[in-house]
Chains A and B, each alone.
Chain A
């Protein structure tokens, strides 16, 4: 298996622009997670899906952030409009079990987002 796939790997944009991050989970994994990592705040869970349905979006920072999972093999995280404080590395992860379940989470390579 190719593992979790994310695109783009790097994104540089200007404040106010829309940004869309993409993720393909490992085939057969029912759970998909979006994380954000910064030096200041560490690794934060933004949202996770089970069988394409959003389960917990309490970590989504504000209405500018939205996530969708139209099918089992694709998810997007959108920021509109983007702000410099959104600059971070965004990871997608997938798993066979819920968070805190018996399976670990498998992380993608991440998207490094810079908002100027």
Chain B
């Protein structure tokens, strides 16, 4: 079974802090994704990566950056956390190719910015 592991289940940070959310997958997947989930809005794509050191902006990249130095690890960075970034963050991975493989999600990180 594919395992996608997010480093923290719950996280509380202060406004202005730099925040790192880590995600690791163990199935040699090429594609990795970061989503945020908010009530009434569903899941919205922040960034995705289709290869090491490659990244593409999703629908809501503002205020975020990402890093993929190794194939198995995809990090989401909040350069200066703000209260409107309080949300559930979900990491996902998929095998690769042109939209032809299922997504596998981690358990999520619930981030609160105070």
> Do the two chains belong together in a single complex?
no
Measured CB to CB, the residues of B under 8 A from A are none
